[in-house]
Amino acid sequence: MTLIKSISGIRGTIGGEPKHNLTPIDTVNFAAAYGTWLKNQRSKSHYKVVIGRDARISGGMIQGLVMQTLVGMGISIVDLGLSTTPTVEMAVKLEQADGGIILTASHNPKEWNALKLLNKNGEFLNAEEGKAIIDSVESGDFNFAEVDDLGDIYRNSAYIDLHIEEVLQLELVDQDAIKKAKFKVVVDAVNSTGGISIPPLLRQLGVEVIELYCEPTGHFPHNPEPLERHLTDLSSAIVEHNTDFGLTVDPDVDRLAFMDENGKMFGEEYTLVSVADYVLTHKKGATVSNLSSSRALRDVTEAHGCKHYASAVGEVNVVAKMKAVDAVIGGEGNGGIIDPQLHYGRDSLVGVALFLSHLAHKKMKVSELKANYPQYFMAKEKVELTADLNVDAILNQMVTNYSDQEITTIDGVKIDFPENWVHLRKSNTEPIIRIYTEAKTQNEANQLAQRFIAELKSVAKS
């Protein structure tokens, strides 16, 4: 059983002992720390926080604990109930709230849950803000409201519909072209809130929808991370129903993956690549992804005569870089699309709408679209080290060893070779170096990863 505290919030497994799992006591303490931080940001007479959750079995319990803790601190709540991460992010802005909390453990299995924390812009907290909340949890220095100053709870179930409306109004979402294409699509929503957001969006766009696991029961029918090995039912349904493609989202709907008309994986990395290709066709500007995302985005961006930038890993870092370079599109290689015309957060709804617009304009099959892009393959490995080793010194030595190559050190060490790359990142919680590689064949990516495993172990011994 596990409890993990990070700058983005707290996540853990339900049940067990406090401080070792996500128990009611830990939930209350973390909610109180967030409320304390929020009130310290500015002095007001009234505070408001938006809260929504995915369909996890523990969601109702966790949401009740969080809401009533904040009410006890004199903070009023806009309760979205079952919702999506991007919907909560948008609602914070539309409500002009002081912050927001999404109760979801993203792609983790059903025994997990989490509190993901937002600022007044509906964006994830930065490192300094997250640390302040963790420090507050440790100190337990909370101040609750007196009886006449308790907060209120307001229920608002309209925000998914409002979210869909905002997506449909985007200039680059070509509703007419999508409707004329008469797409037929299978949706696997892993029995979470993708089932109450993605099919309604598709139907408004004139798409015929085959629903697969779209009841928000929280009983995930398979591992909820949208990887090919977990999507055998989706693959079979695409072939069985003769659809144009299939799509899946994770439980909180910020990761989006497609399968082609043959039931083959389009690739999470290529979700962003294809959407960026469409956006850049109509609107020139910079693109941003993190250091561990595919080089294909850089290639496509440069083919449009534009500049690609890489950020440190993590949505908050991607967003900061997007703002700094005024990017027109960005995201992460895990299927996360960030369209600044809508909001600065990974959003599967806008990703779906832009991908459909792209496909309708291209008038080609999904497999043909994928074949148009530079083909890269990734490997992900790790090296476990003993606790006494200085991981930073090991990574610094790798910088020295490869000083003749293009090196980036904003997040670990990334070494860009002419035909491939390797990204070495240390874990914040254990003596592990994670190794990500990308090359033009899977075998080459695997071999590159094994080569660096050997090199890291050699440096560690020296």
Q: What is the CATH number of the domain that holds 395?
A: 3.30.310.50
Q: How many domains does the chain have?
A: 3
| Residue 339 shares a structural domain with residue 426 | no
Which residues neighbour 64 within 8 Å (Cβ) at sequence distance 6 or greater? none
Note whether 382 and 257 are same-domain residues.
no
Looking at the structure, do residues 316 and 206 belong to the same domain, yes or no?
yes
Do 187 and 326 lie in one domain? The reply is yes
User: Are 380 and 227 a contacting pair, CB within 8 Å?
Assistant: no
Active site residue 6: no
pLDDT of residue 60: 97
Per-residue pLDDT in tens (0 to 9) along the chain, 462 residues: 578 887 777 899 999 999 999 999 999 999 999 999 999 988 888 999 999 999 999 999 999 999 999 999 999 999 999 999 999 999 999 999 999 999 999 989 999 999 999 999 999 998 899 889 999 988 888 999 999 999 999 999 999 999 999 999 999 999 999 999 999 999 999 999 999 999 999 999 999 999 999 999 999 999 999 889 999 999 999 999 999 999 999 999 999 999 999 999 999 999 999 999 999 999 999 999 999 999 999 999 999 999 999 999 999 999 999 999 999 999 999 899 999 999 999 999 999 999 999 999 999 999 999 999 999 999 999 888 887 788 889 999 999 999 999 999 999 999 999 999 999 998 766 678 999 999 999 999 999 999 999 999 999 888
Cα distance between residue 106 and residue 85, in whole Å: 9
* Total-model pTM: 0.94
Provide DSSP, 221-264. SS-SS--GGG-HHHHHHHHHHT-SEEEEE-TTS--EEEE-TTS-
Among candidate residues 320, 351, 371, the one where a domain is terminated:
371
**Do 381 and 346 have their domain in common?**
no
Query: Do 257 and 325 share a structural domain?
Result: yes
Which of 351, 371, 391 is where one domain is finished? Answer: 371
Residues 216 and 98 in one domain: no
Tell me, what CATH number does 366's domain have?
3.40.120.10
Alpha carbon 147 to chain centroid distance?
Answer: 39
Tell me, yes or no, whether 343 and 231 share the same domain.
yes
Identity of the residue numbered 430: E
194 and 340 belong to one structural domain: yes
Instruction: Tell me: do 179 and 326 sit in the same domain.
Output: yes
Given 58, 83, 106, 289, which residue is catalytic? 106
Q: How far is the C-alpha of 210 from the C-alpha of 187, rounded, in Å?
A: 6
Domain hosting residue 249, numbered range: 162-371
Q: Is there a single domain that holds both residue 358 and residue 227?
A: yes
15-47 as b/e: b if 16+ CB within 10 A:
eeeeeebbbeebbbbbbbbbbbbbbeeeeeeeb
Whether residue 181 is found in the same domain as residue 297: yes
Domain end call among 327, 354, 371: 371
Q: What share of the chain is helix, strand, coil (3-state, %, to 5)?
A: 40, 25, 35
